[in-house]
Amino acid sequence: MKNFSPISQIKIKHHFLFLLMAIVVCYYVFNQYYLLSNPIKSIELVFSDKVTKEEIPIVYISSNKESEISFTKVYRFHNTENLVYQSLLDDKKKLRKLRLYFPHPNKTVGIKSIRLKSGNDEISILLKKFKKSAGIKFIERPNELKLETHIVNGYFELPETYIYKSDFINIYQLVLSFFVLWVLIIIVLKILNPIEFEVFCIGNLSMILFLLSIFLPAPIYNITLIIIAVLNIKNISWIAIKSQKTNILILGLFTIYLLNNLFVSGESFNELSTIERFLPLIILGIVLPGISNRKFLSLFPYSALCIGFWLLSTSVFDVYIHQNFKFLSFDFFTKYLHPVYFSYLLFFSICFIDLNYKGKHKYILEFILFMFLIFCGSKMVFLFSLMVITINFIKNIKVLFLIFPILIVVFMFSPIKNRFNEVLKIDDFTILNEKHIENPYDTRINGLTLRLILWRETLETMRFKDFFFGKGVSKETNHLLNARLEKLGLKEHIGFNPHNQYVDTFWRTGFLGFFVLIAIPLYSFVLGLRNKDKLLIQFSLFMIAVMFSESIFGRVNGIYFFTTVMLILINSSQLHENRNIRN
């Protein structure tokens, strides 16, 4: 059997990494893009029945370097023959995305086919798959697709983004970018050490899979939650659960939501979607106290770096195609993840590395994580993360070599700079005094003013008795806020939650749920001070702060992440658990 030298092994690993990155990017490109030789010159609709003028959609597109649909020019359909309508597009532009808007509500049309014409080629669109839609109900029939429009300007977007052979003229730019990215990943791999466990067993393996899956798509983390619960039944310790008040508070919060759903909301067992979302509270609250080990937290920086590099590699391709750096920001960067929730993972990873790594390795990892954080665009999380490393400036002047480059990137990266600027406009607060907002796209509606409006409108739905028992945790409660937003004129924000976990919990469960919610991070903070546990202090303060700006339990990722981290921190010792991490 042939022996490999250490150098050969490293090369093999790097080659495998390059191959894996290439596969991931190719998979993304294959699923997101459709390659054409010539620009699209027209779109053709074939209806199943005669349509009126009000039932015919209009077309908006994005083209060339645009990142979003442009509404500066509308393309209209014209009848070419019986039931066949065609819209001529501008074939001088490189059409990227295409949306069909239905201006009039309460209309029903049947579409037999959608075809795009590109040069001499004709592309048929599958009627079962659309990228985005709003205000439209799809009813599949054997030979057609029925569309019911429920709102003004309901729309659907074709599934692919179109690219062209001419986009690859300067292919060296893409190759060079991926080469730099590949080198950066190799550097990170050399810095990170394998995580060592004294006893490697099925229970530990299930925990590893669970922690690495929290920010993956829904079926994966649900499956790993079931696995960790089943494989660790014998490790459940009621003594461990009762030993920490935070465990009891987390279980208590779930109980309050459950009882509220059964007796206050009036839904009983008929509507349990909220309770299903909160199930991780009780499962993790029972399982984790008996198996918590702080070494497991080392997996979160691994997860953050792996996901971040995957997102970055796909965004590099997007930037190359569109020649637009906006594809490195916010939803364009995080894609299937909510950017704010991914930023929570990045914050914790920065805190963990700041406390457990030393020297240049720490600054390299923190700088990379900060770049991902800048691309996510969460202002509050960015400032909190910057505070964490700035505190170290008191102890180590070398931190300046990390802070200055980060600040330079922030000032050069216009998307996040604009997000900071928008909340500093004092005039935008005048929108809070308006009884009805005529323009739902009013530029005064920014991240801060929208939140203030959401908090106000949420609390305005409450009456005196609701202060004790809340309005209920079922979906019916959401309709109360939606009705007020629609009356106010914010039709584009119907479906939003209050974007404040304190307001959200108080609104749904009253004072009891509110007090239990706020007691979780407050008690954990006090415990952190008592034990001089810096990581617990930082995470508790962070949790207290972000609940002001987001309904963090509005998405199951938030429930999984905050519950898991808090339970592991509370139920494990901080001493000598991370000695394996490289200095």
**DSSP labels, 484-500:** HHHHHT-GGGTT---S-
The residue ranking higher by pLDDT, 72 or 417, is 72
Sign of CA dihedral 275, 276, 277, 280: positive
Pick the closest to residue 369 from 393, 339, 349 (CA basis): 349
Last residue within a domain, chosen from 396, 422, 448:
422
- Looking at residues 401-428, what average pLDDT do you find? 68
Reply yes or no on whether the pLDDT at 400 is more than 70: no
Task: Clarify whether residues 180 and 227 are in a common domain.
Answer: no
Task: Clarify whether residues 118 and 262 are in a common domain.
Answer: no
Residue 277 lies in a domain: no
Last residue within a domain, chosen from 158, 191, 224:
191
Counted domains in the chain: 4
E strands, 89-235, are 95-102, 107-118, 121-124, 132-134, 136-140, 145-149, 154-157, 161-164
CATH of the domain at 137: 2.60.60
Q: How confident is the model at residue 10 (pLDDT cuts 50, 70, 90)?
A: very low
Last residue within a domain, chosen from 368, 391, 422:
422
| CA–CA–CA angle 375, 343, 68 (5° rounding) | 40
Report residue 91: phi and psi, to 5°: -80, 5
What are the Cα distances from residue 199, in Å, to 180, 202, 204, 227, 392? Answer: 38, 10, 8, 19, 34
CB atoms < 10 A from the CB of 429, how many? 13
Task: Clarify whether residues 177 and 131 are in a common domain.
Answer: no
Task: Clarify whether residues 411 and 435 are in a common domain.
Answer: no
CA distance 337 to 330: 10
Residue 196 lies in a domain: no
The one-letter code for the residue type at 285 is: G
Coil/strand/helix, residue 56: coil
Residue 458 lies in a domain: yes
The one-letter code for the residue type at 340 is: V
Reply yes or no on whether the pLDDT at 6 is more than 90: no
Percent of the chain with pLDDT over 70: 88
Name the burial class of residue 238, with classes exposed (0-12), middle (13-18) and buried (19+) by CB atoms within 10 angstroms of its CB.
Answer: exposed
Residue 56 lies in a domain: yes
Report residue 528: phi and psi, to 5°: -65, -40
CA distance 410 to 407: 5
Task: Clarify whether residues 548 and 532 are in a common domain.
Answer: yes
pLDDT digits (tens, 9 = 90+) for 140-156: 787 888 999 988 889 99
Task: Clarify whether residues 121 and 42 are in a common domain.
Answer: yes
Q: Give residue 383's pLDDT.
A: 85
For the record, the structure tokens of 114 come out as: 């959608």
Coil/strand/helix, residue 529: helix
The one-letter code for the residue type at 292 is: S
Q: How confident is the model at residue 269 (pLDDT cuts 50, 70, 90)?
A: low
* Lowest pLDDT segment from 116-125, 135-144, 415-424: 415-424
Residue 275 lies in a domain: no
* Lowest pLDDT segment from 6-10, 28-32, 411-415, 495-499: 6-10
Q: Give residue 164's pLDDT.
A: 96
Q: Give residue 417's pLDDT.
A: 62
What are the Cα distances from residue 250, in Å, to 137, 244, 507, 566? Answer: 38, 11, 19, 10
For the record, the structure tokens of 458 come out as: 């949420």
Task: Clarify whether residues 153 and 180 are in a common domain.
Answer: no
Reply yes or no on whether the pLDDT at 171 is more than 50: yes
CA distance 401 to 504: 41
Task: Clarify whether residues 228 and 249 are in a common domain.
Answer: no
Residue 125 lies in a domain: yes
- Give me the residues paired with residue 146 across strands: 110, 139
CB atoms < 10 A from the CB of 576, how many? 7
pLDDT digits (tens, 9 = 90+) for 296-349: 999 999 999 999 999 999 999 999 999 999 999 999 999 989 999 999 999 999
499: left (phi over 0), alpha (psi -120 to 50) or beta: left
Task: Clarify whether residues 152 and 181 are in a common domain.
Answer: no
Task: Clarify whether residues 178 and 224 are in a common domain.
Answer: no
**Domain assignment of residue 173, given as a range:** 14-32+169-191
Residue 1 lies in a domain: no
Instruction: List the end-to-end C-alpha distance of the chain, in Å, as a whole number.
Output: 36
Task: Clarify whether residues 46 and 20 are in a common domain.
Answer: no
pLDDT digits (tens, 9 = 90+) for 551-562: 999 999 999 999
CA distance 371 to 402: 11
Task: Clarify whether residues 440 and 569 are in a common domain.
Answer: yes
CB neighbours of 176 closer than 8 A, spacing ≥ 6? none
Pick the closest to residue 345 from 302, 309, 394 (CA basis): 302
Beta-sheet pairing, 161-164 with 33-36: parallel
Residue 507 lies in a domain: yes
Reply yes or no on whether the pLDDT at 467 is more than 60: yes
Q: Give residue 1's pLDDT.
A: 43
Reply yes or no on whether the pLDDT at 582 is more than 80: no
Sign of CA dihedral 85, 90, 96, 101: negative
The one-letter code for the residue type at 361 is: H
pLDDT digits (tens, 9 = 90+) for 352-378: 999 988 888 888 999 999 999 999 988
| pTM of this structure | 0.90
pLDDT digits (tens, 9 = 90+) for 96-134: 999 999 999 999 999 999 999 999 899 999 887 788 888
155: left (phi over 0), alpha (psi -120 to 50) or beta: beta
Whether 545 contacts 384, CB under 8 Å? yes
Beta-sheet pairing, 58-63 with 95-102: antiparallel
Reply yes or no on whether the pLDDT at 66 is more than 80: yes
Sign of CA dihedral 186, 189, 21, 5: positive
How many residues can be counted in the chain? 583
Mean pLDDT of the chain: 87
Q: Give residue 130's pLDDT.
A: 85
